[in-house]
Structure 1
Amino acid sequence: MKKIDWYIFKRYLITFTAMLFMFIPIGIIIDVSEKVNRMIENKVAFKEILIYYYGFTIYFANLLFPIFLFLSIIWFTSKLANNSEIIAILSSGISFTRFLRPYIVGATLVSFITLLMGFFILPDASEKFWAFKFDYLTKNGEERQTSDIFRQVKPNEYIYVSSYNAMSKTGFDFFYEKFNGNKLEYKLYANRIKYNEKTKDYTLFNYIKRDIGKDNDIIVKQEKLNKKFDFEPDDLAPTIYAAETMNIFKLVKFIDKERAKGSSNLDIYLVVLYKKFSIPVSAFILTIIAVSVSAMKRRGGMGINLAIGILVAFSFVFFDKIFGTLAERSSLPPFLAVWFPNFIFGILAIYLLRNARR
């Protein structure tokens, strides 16, 4: 790399890092001001608060990563343009594509770090962030699906509960069905099922079992019965944020397991998986857009470029959130929803790059 490449590359990384250190403390201060009353009410230990804000810092940085990256590039590239440094560089015979090289190298490094963080560091931070939030800041059970839960626990075994209480580990209107191929072997019903921590089994209340026979069915009824099953209480209602707390290897296995069980939260988990790859790719797209927008010297100076940058960055985050929610709440395929913002802004990046090269 030439001196000018190192100069731009260092400015890229230094400005991006400075942007993170500038905005993250602001986010923490705002979060503290909103939640301090709940923390005092729940008598949260100072150590727990520190652990929470470790998770919050990484979670917040990952969430607003596109905005931080985009604004940092807009900022220092606009300064280069206003000081006529870009004009001097291009006048020396360097093409605009060649001028982009240190930006792409910087985007590659940032993208790689973001990828590793999403795979291994963010899950641990997310676990601390969500665990604290639901232990101290929200109502119990909000992190779970608690009604009309249908799951496949084994290839031929299915369970259903009409409602589930995570605190007491109790489900209501419990059904368990065992099939042999397409034929139903037997069916269990209990109007209430409760998990026992000590004995690691379940207590069934008003238990009814129907064995399906060739000629006659055999029905067994008991007021109360203790029985072991091959599923855990969390299999009845796993936390919605469970996927965010797993590294990439555990997440892939978890999704395969949830797909086999017919989980209603599968699309939520797939969105988490796909975003681990789409967010690093967005670093390249946003870098090209930011350079193309801010490389031109404008009459309004840096303020115009920053205004455009803020508009584009928040539009990207808006699209990302909207389509992520659509994937979770509608029939829109998660893969399409997660990658659609990158596709749209990728087209915008190509258009702006061609325009800037002219």
Structure 2
Amino acid sequence: MLSIIDKYILKRYLATFAMMLLLFIPIGIMVNLAEQIGKMIDNEAPLNEILMYYLNFTIYIGSLLFPIFLFLSVIFFTSKLANNTEIVAILSSGVSYGRFLRPYLIGATIIAIIMFFMTMFIVPQASIGFNEFKFKYLKRGKQDRITNNIFNQLNETDFIYVSSFDPARQLGHNFTYERFNEDNKLDFKISAVNIRWVEKDSNYRLTSYVKRKMVGDSAILESKRRLDTLFTFKIDDLTPVSYVAETKNLFELDQFIADQKRKGASNINTYILVKYKRWALPLTAFILTIIAVAVSSVKRRGGMGVNLAFGILVAFVFIFFDKVFGTLAEQSGFSPLLAVIIPNVLFGLLALYLLQNAKR
């Protein structure tokens, strides 16, 4: 049963967080629009697509900044409580610091649940429109995927390779398809100078096609100048877009990662990192809430300004650690799980230390 104090603090918690979102997201939209309006005009982006882009932008960017907005919100309104000596009055009435912390944890739970469902189901859909618009109008001509030396394992026996891939033309160069038998010996090998997806015919067109079929110790060769055929893979499977993991919901992402592991994808750590960050986000809400309360619940000579300055510093340090370990996981053999755990453990320990000092 919530007491009057619980309801008061919880109301301030949620209201301040909502105010932060309503205040800063429109500012972000205006800054982005001022920066990108020239490219939108030059590339003739339709108005309806621009409006949809900024709807997706609001969801996508808002989800990334959720923890920071939450952190600053708690510091802001808790500092006001401390400056008005409301916290002193609450604790002097016999309420323990742990009991005083309860409405904050309830608020963090509500925000964490909202963040979980958004990042697992709503943000992936927004990410599709956000990134497609970005590469279509704002980064026109820049590739949104790896296009050179692409290797894929389709299943336990089949492997494909292209030296380069043009997603706009759906054309791959120096294509190779190999199948191995149960004894891990080559069954056949198909090679072609080019492979192109012909959408109107729903088939693949191979140029300078050569197939070598192994029969015992000999090989049977078959060659054609051009061959239209079918394969079990999709042309986009050669190289998914770089942001593909962001567009998958909770259930799709697990299946996608399993498929990419089976195919031997070289950038599998990037996809796994996205998964772990989504699961860690609710925990981050609790850690940052505790740090914010511990820092701002004590009345200081500098007032709210000192608390906000410290909060912004902590926020930037947290983002720095998150980016550094995320980059290590994406570009080296560093474990994606550790890349997510280490920043949260470090700041979790900081939260406990600051909480103990605040209690004293």
Task: Identify the TM-score tier after normalising by the shorter chain.
Answer: over 0.9
The CA distance in 2 between the partners of 1:223 and 1:118, in whole Å, is: 49
1:260 and 1:198 map into 2 onto residues whose CA distance is 30
1:99-114 equivalences under 5 Å are 99-114=100-115
Find the aligned partners of 1:322 and 1:40 in 2 and give their Cα distance: 36
SS in 2 for 1:208: strand
1:240–1:265 Cα contact (<8 Å) kept = no
Cα offset, 1:265, TM superposition: 2.4
Matched, 1:50 2:44: no
What is the SS of the residue equivalent to 1:100? Answer: helix
Q: Is the 8 A contact 1:67 1:314 kept in 2?
A: no
Specify which of 263, 266, 269 is matched with residue 267 of structure 1: 269
In structure 2, the partner of 1:193 is 195
Aligned to 1:342: 344
**Aligned equivalents of 2:307, 2:142: Cα separation in 1:** 45
Partner of 1:135: 136
Alignment partners' CA distance in 2, 1:335 and 1:19: 31
Q: Deviations over 1:259-279 (max 9, x none)?
A: 111112211111111111111
Partners in 2 of 1:239 and 1:17 — Cα distance? Answer: 33
- Is this contact kept in 2: 1:66–1:317, CA < 8 A? no
Question: 1:274 and 1:224, CA in 2 relative to 1: closer, same or farther beyond 3 A?
Answer: same
Q: Tell me how large the CA RMSD over aligned residues is.
A: 1.0
Equivalent of residue 319 in structure 2, options 317, 320, 327:
317
Are residues 201 and 141 of structure 1, via their aligned partners in 2, closer, same or farther at CA, if it must alter by over 3 Å? farther
Structure 1 residue 219: Cα displacement: 1.6
Compared CA separation, residues 141 and 202, structure 1 to 2 (3 A): farther
TM-superposed CA distance for 1:316, in Å, is: 1.1
Which residue matches 2:334? 332
Q: Distance in 2 between matches of 1:257 and 1:125?
A: 23
1:72-83 to 2 correspondence within 5 Å?
72-83=73-84
Q: CA deviation at 1:27?
A: 0.5
Where does residue 211 of structure 2 map in the other structure? 209
| Correspondences of 1:15-164 after superposition (within 5 Å) | 15-140=16-141, 142-164=143-165
2:217 is paired with a residue whose SS is coil
CA distance in 2, matches of 1:69, 1:53: 22
Amino acid at match of 2:324: I
Q: What percentage of residue pairs aligned between the two structures are identical?
A: 54
Equivalent residue letter for 1:244: E
> Partner amino acid for 2:188?
Y
Stretches of structure 2 lacking an aligned partner (at least 5 in a row): none
Moved more, 217-226 or 194-203: 217-226
Cα separation, 1, equivalents of 2:186 and 2:342: 43
> Residue by residue, what CA displacement relative to the aligned partner does 1:68-90 show, whole Å, maximum 9, x if unpaired?
11111000000011111111111
Unmatched 5+ stretches in structure 1 = none
User: 2-side partners of 1:85 and 1:267: how far apart?
Assistant: 48
**Offset, 1:212:** 1.5
CA contact (8 A) 1:81 1:297 kept: yes
* Partner SS, residue 64 of structure 1: helix
User: 1:225-259 CA distances to partner (integer Å, 9 max, x unpaired)?
Assistant: 11110000111111111111121111111111111
Distance in 1, matches of 2:148 and 2:254, equals 26
Amino acid at match of 1:120: F
Q: CA deviation at 1:126?
A: 0.8
**Where in structure 1 do 4 or more consecutive aligned residues deviate above 3 Å?**
none
Task: State how far apart, in whole Å, the 1-side matches of 2:216 and 2:61 are.
Answer: 60
**Corresponding residue for residue 250 of structure 1:** 252
Measure the CA separation in 2 of the matches of 1:64 and 1:323: 18
**CA–CA distance in 1 between the matches of 2:13 and 2:100?**
13
Structure 1: which amino acid aligns with 2:129?
A: K
Distance in 2, matches of 1:70 and 1:292, equals 12
Report the more deviating stretch, 321-330 or 99-108: 321-330
The size of the alignment, in residue pairs, is 358
**Please, which of 277, 291, 302 is the counterpart of residue 289 of structure 1?**
291
| Range 222-231 or range 163-172, more displaced | 222-231
The Cα of 1:207 is off from its aligned counterpart by 1.3
User: Which residue of structure 2 lines up, in the alignment, with residue 228 of structure 1?
Assistant: 230
| SS across alignment from 2:39 | helix
Residue of structure 1 equivalent to 2:172: 171
Letter of the aligned partner of 1:288 in structure 2?
I
Q: SS where residue 212 of structure 1 aligns?
A: strand
Q: Contact conserved, 1:191 with 1:205, CA < 8 A, in 2?
A: yes
| Offset of residue 59 of structure 1 | 0.9
- The residue that corresponds to 2:309 in the other structure is 307
TM-score scaled by structure 1?
Answer: 0.98
Partner Cα distance (2:327, 2:76) in 1: 31
Partner in structure 1 of residue 186 of structure 2: 184
